[in-house]
């Protein structure tokens, strides 16, 4: 279409909303784009666009869009929709094809012709922004019909997958995090790698792949020393192969003769199977294996060879939760191709093999172990086997075939004991046995290694057999049912009064001997200690309160601007306080102009209240009243008007309310007066103090929501000294 060849889509600005926001509960990127003259070209006016889009991305059929049915989005494209909307869906689908979680997307008109706002799920800002830029390129290619878009999608998907592999959590860590989040356990990524915090404050646990904050450094060191591990296992009666460390090729051969052939030669502190040679019979083989093994570790171990298949069993909290079996890899000669070519044609052509994390099997390479195996058969990688000649490539290749359902109770018991002896709560135990459905003693089987930080992919995506829910098992081990993973989090927002209310709530909590993290416009506080250079209410300071392992309760002031451009720092809260909403407030620089948009920003605080939590709302503010129905938990109103219809109806339904009078503040539950607290002198409405009684009422309501005893609330109200610079302001 010649008239479209010079059209483009410009990215004007990008915001990363890292927590719950006005659009959704999850992190997103919010991107302003300018489609320019493409405003004149909805999809139905671009010849062939629909067909090219469907051919390039057939999986878009699953996007339901506003029709709420399969094919809904494509129906919109066929009828005619604009580039921003299409860009949103292409971005999501490109991420989906690359194995990157997503799901949420919206596009909205901007404040001038051709300008739109596009919102898309973003667990990583860089990954999703890259996907959106690729989506722009693909859209323009589809519109201009100037290249092979099917090939372009394939290239984009491969590039996104590589970027995702570099920047996102690995599959082992991700499966634990996903299982935790399914239970409502919040997660915070602590590094660019796989270090993740699960839970908040003092209730948190940390994981690093399949290691936890309870993984002992001593136990991990023991597991790396194969000789020490064997010694400890033997003392506990766990079956192990006989063997010893050796210091030279000659010593290795001497040890092999003492132990009895065949033997295994491996580095004493290696991992991932590197430098391990099995079923060795001759002096030449053993000395050659020693030379490779010593390069992989500090010392070399020679062990009796155990007849059987290699198995990897995963132990979590003294329980075997998954088992996988290794494979013997062969090629069959055809009299034409070399061994190396046969590996490519007969083994690596298997679609289950690959270097990406979604592949359960690794490609086979001719490394030192394979070279030695071939040499034993008088072959090299360049040899051409005769027709139908079977050539052994690996005796125990990828351990990726699920056999969990076959485990004999005796095997499970011995394997769990091995992990316990080493001291690991999560361990990958390597077992050589002919049949794990039989007791170990019946088959001369043995445990050969106990590994810390085991990979989980073989259990999540086995080459055959059913996937095992190992992430769920680990999450449940870290947080057994009934164990708390949240400290109380109180979020406070409103047009005015946020800072003093947040300070007073923190004051109430401190009086209960709780170590409090407070983030407000005056700064960041842990206990009574102010943290230097933190004089702002923002996402970073709020997040720091949740990271602190000493913190037992958190109070966070959320200003409207931070909620708008950063999102909330927490996923859910125990208490959400909305003091007031100014319908005339606006943020034109972010296209927030009217009261409905302001309402959407502020309601986020109530949207995230837990079902077991409480929303504290101003019954004298019409927009706060509207938020009551959005709260998943209970609502406690505070008000200066005890006779208002809202308060009376709420109390008739056995609701709770804090009624602020000139002389006292009354806490009511249904028809009952639960407590009357004298208005302290600094808060009396008839003196010159700038401290507002309604702020005190809101703070008392939040304290009541936190189950702080009435006598503590009364003492706190009397002893709190308001800062006159913030008493009525932010």
In this prediction, residues 684-708 reach a mean pLDDT of: 79
Residue of 501, 510, 530, 513 whose CA lies nearest to 716: 510
State the pLDDT at residue 32. 96
What is the pTM (predicted TM-score) of this model? 0.90
pLDDT digits (tens, 9 = 90+) for 530-558: 998 877 789 999 999 999 999 999 999 99
Residue 690: pLDDT band with limits 50, 70, 90: very low
Answer yes or no: do 120 and 39 share one domain.
yes
Strand bridging mode 446-451 / 609-618? unpaired
Contact assessment for residue 331 and residue 384, using Cβ atoms and an 8 Å cutoff: no
Task: Give me the chain's average pLDDT, please.
Answer: 92
How deeply is 399 buried, as exposed, middle or buried, from its count of CB atoms within 10 A (0-12, 13-18, 19+)?
Answer: buried
Domain boundary among 213, 247, 267: 213
Residue 294 within a domain: no
State the pLDDT at residue 328. 80
Residue of 413, 487, 428, 414 whose CA lies nearest to 459: 428
State the pLDDT at residue 683. 61
- Supply the DSSP symbol for 209: T
Answer yes or no: do 698 and 606 share one domain.
yes
d(CA 678, CA 581): 27
Residue 596 within a domain: yes
Domain boundary among 134, 167, 200: 167
State the pLDDT at residue 724. 52
SS (H, E, C) 449-482: EEECCCCCHHHHCCCECCCCCHHHHHHHHHCCCC
3-class SS of residue 11 = strand
CA 474 to centroid of chain Cα atoms: 14
Answer yes or no: do 42 and 183 share one domain.
no
Residue 729 has pLDDT above 70, yes or no: no
Residue 86 has pLDDT above 80, yes or no: yes
Residue 570 within a domain: yes
pLDDT digits (tens, 9 = 90+) for 272-323: 667 788 889 999 999 999 998 998 888 999 999 999 999 999 999 999 999 9
Look up residue 534 and give its two tokens: 């933190």
Residue 626 within a domain: yes
Contact assessment for residue 621 and residue 644, using Cβ atoms and an 8 Å cutoff: no
State the pLDDT at residue 319. 97
State the pLDDT at residue 276. 84
SS (H, E, C) 110-128: CCCCCEEEEEEECCCHHHH
Residue 56 within a domain: yes
pLDDT digits (tens, 9 = 90+) for 342-376: 999 998 988 888 877 667 788 988 887 788 888 88
Higher per-residue pLDDT: 463 or 729? 463
Distances (CA, A) of 485 to 139, 185, 515: 44, 7, 16
Q: Which domain holds residue 593?
A: 489-637+688-719
Strand bridging mode 573-578 / 609-618? parallel
State the pLDDT at residue 146. 84
CA dihedral of residues 132, 137, 143, 146 (deg, nearest 10): -160
Answer yes or no: do 612 and 506 share one domain.
yes
State the pLDDT at residue 180. 98
In 209-325, DSSP assigns E strands to 211-212, 243-246, 263-267, 277-280, 300-304, 309-316, 320-325
Residue 727 has pLDDT above 60, yes or no: no
Answer yes or no: do 87 and 185 share one domain.
no
Half-sphere exposure of 646 (CA within 13 A, CB side): 23
State the pLDDT at residue 102. 82
Answer yes or no: do 137 and 102 share one domain.
yes
pLDDT digits (tens, 9 = 90+) for 589-613: 888 888 999 999 999 999 999 999 9
CA 641, 642, 648: angle at the middle one, nearest 5? 120
Answer yes or no: do 186 and 75 share one domain.
no
Answer yes or no: do 582 and 708 share one domain.
yes
Residue 370 within a domain: yes
Residue 591 sits in a domain whose CATH number is 3.40.1190.10
Residue 702 has pLDDT above 80, yes or no: yes
Answer yes or no: do 179 and 88 share one domain.
no
Residue 3: pLDDT band with limits 50, 70, 90: low
State the pLDDT at residue 685. 46
Answer yes or no: do 21 and 98 share one domain.
yes
d(CA 264, CA 112): 73
pLDDT digits (tens, 9 = 90+) for 426-456: 999 999 999 999 999 999 899 999 999 999 9
Residue 267 within a domain: no
Residue 616 within a domain: yes
Domain boundary among 350, 366, 394: 394
3-class SS of residue 168 = coil
Answer yes or no: do 209 and 132 share one domain.
no
Residue 696 has pLDDT above 90, yes or no: yes
Contact assessment for residue 598 and residue 22, using Cβ atoms and an 8 Å cutoff: no
Domains contained in the chain, number = 4
Answer yes or no: do 21 and 162 share one domain.
yes
């Amino acid at each position: 279409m010649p008239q479209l060849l010079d059209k483009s889509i410009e990215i004007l600005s990008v915001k990363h909303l890292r927590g719950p926001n006005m659009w959704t509960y999850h992190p997103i990127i919010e991107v302003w784009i300018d489609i320019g003259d493409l405003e004149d070209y909805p999809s139905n006016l671009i010849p062939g666009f629909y067909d090219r889009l469907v051919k390039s991305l057939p999986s878009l059929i699953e996007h339901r869009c506003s029709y709420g049915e399969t094919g809904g989005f494509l129906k919109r494209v066929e009828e005619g929709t604009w580039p921003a909307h299409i860009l949103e869906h292409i971005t999501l689908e490109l991420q989906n094809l690359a194995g990157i979680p997503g799901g949420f997307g919206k596009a909205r008109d901007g404040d001038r012709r051709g300008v739109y706002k596009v919102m898309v799920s973003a667990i990583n800002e860089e990954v999703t922004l890259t996907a959106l830029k690729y989506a722009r390129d693909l859209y323009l290619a589809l519109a201009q019909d100037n290249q092979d878009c099917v090939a372009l999608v394939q290239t984009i998907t491969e590039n996104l997958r590589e970027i995702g592999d570099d920047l996102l959590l690995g599959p082992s860590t991700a499966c634990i995090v996903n299982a935790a989040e399914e239970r409502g356990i919040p997660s915070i990524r602590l590094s660019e790698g796989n270090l993740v915090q699960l839970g908040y404050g003092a209730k948190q646990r940390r994981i690093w792949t399949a290691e936890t904050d309870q993984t002992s450094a001593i136990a991990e060191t023991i597991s790396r020393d194969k000789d020490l591990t064997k010694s400890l296992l033997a003392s506990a009666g766990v079956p192990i192969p006989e063997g010893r460390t050796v210091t030279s090729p000659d010593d290795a051969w001497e040890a092999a003769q003492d132990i009895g052939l065949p033997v295994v030669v491996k580095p004493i502190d290696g991992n991932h199977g590197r430098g391990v040679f099995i079923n060795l019979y001759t002096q030449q083989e053993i000395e050659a294996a020693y030379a490779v093994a010593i390069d992989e570790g500090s010392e070399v171990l020679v062990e009796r060879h155990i007849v059987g298949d290699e198995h990897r069993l995963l132990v979590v909290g003294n329980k075997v939760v998954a088992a996988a079996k290794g494979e013997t890899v062969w090629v069959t000669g055809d009299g034409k191709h070399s061994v190396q070519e046969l590996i490519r044609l007969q083994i690596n052509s298997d679609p289950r093999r690959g270097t990406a994390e979604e592949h359960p099997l690794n490609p086979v390479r001719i490394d030192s172990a394979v070279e030695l195996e071939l040499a034993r058969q008088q072959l090299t990688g360049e040899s051409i086997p005769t027709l139908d000649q079977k050539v052994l490539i690996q005796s125990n290749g990828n351990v990726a075939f699920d056999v969990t359902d076959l485990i004999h109770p005796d095997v499970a018991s011995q394997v769990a004991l091995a992990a316990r002896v080493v001291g690991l709560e999560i361990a990958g135990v390597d077992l050589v046995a002919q049949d794990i459905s039989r007791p170990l003693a019946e088959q001369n089987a043995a445990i050969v290694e106990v590994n810390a930080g085991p990979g989980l992919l073989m259990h999540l995506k086995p080459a055959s057999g059913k996937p095992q829910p190992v992430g769920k098992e680990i999450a449940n081990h870290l947080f057994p049912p009934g164990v708390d993973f949240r400290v109380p989090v109180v979020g406070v927002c409103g047009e005015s009064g946020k800072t003093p209310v947040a300070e007073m709530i923190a004051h109430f909590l401190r009086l209960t001997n709780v170590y409090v993290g407070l983030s407000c416009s005056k700064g960041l506080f842990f206990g009574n200690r102010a943290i230097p250079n933190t004089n702002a209410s923002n996402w970073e300071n709020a997040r720091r309160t949740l990271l602190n392992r000493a913190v037992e309760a958190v109070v966070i002031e959320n200003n409207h601007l931070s909620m708008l451009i950063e999102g909330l720092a927490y996923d859910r809260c125990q208490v959400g306080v909305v003091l007031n909403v100014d319908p005339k407030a606006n943020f034109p620089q972010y296209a927030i102009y009217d009261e409905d948009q302001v309402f959407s920003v502020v309601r986020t605080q109530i949207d995230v209240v837990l079902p077991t939590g409480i929303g504290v709302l101003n019954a004298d503010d019409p927009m706060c009243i509207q938020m009551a129905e959005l709260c998943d938990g209970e609502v406690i109103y505070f008000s200066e008007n005890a006779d208002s219809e809202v308060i009376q109806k709420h109390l008739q339904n056995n609701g709770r309310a804090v009624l602020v009078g000139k002389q006292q503040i009354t806490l009511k539950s249904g028809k009952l007066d639960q407590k009357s607290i004298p208005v302290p002198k600094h808060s009396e409405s008839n003196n010159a103090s700038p401290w507002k009684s309604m702020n005190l009422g809101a703070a008392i309501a939040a304290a009541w929501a936190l189950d702080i005893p009435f006598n503590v609330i009364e003492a706190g109200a009397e002893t709190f000294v308001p800062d006159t610079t913030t008493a009525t302001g932010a």
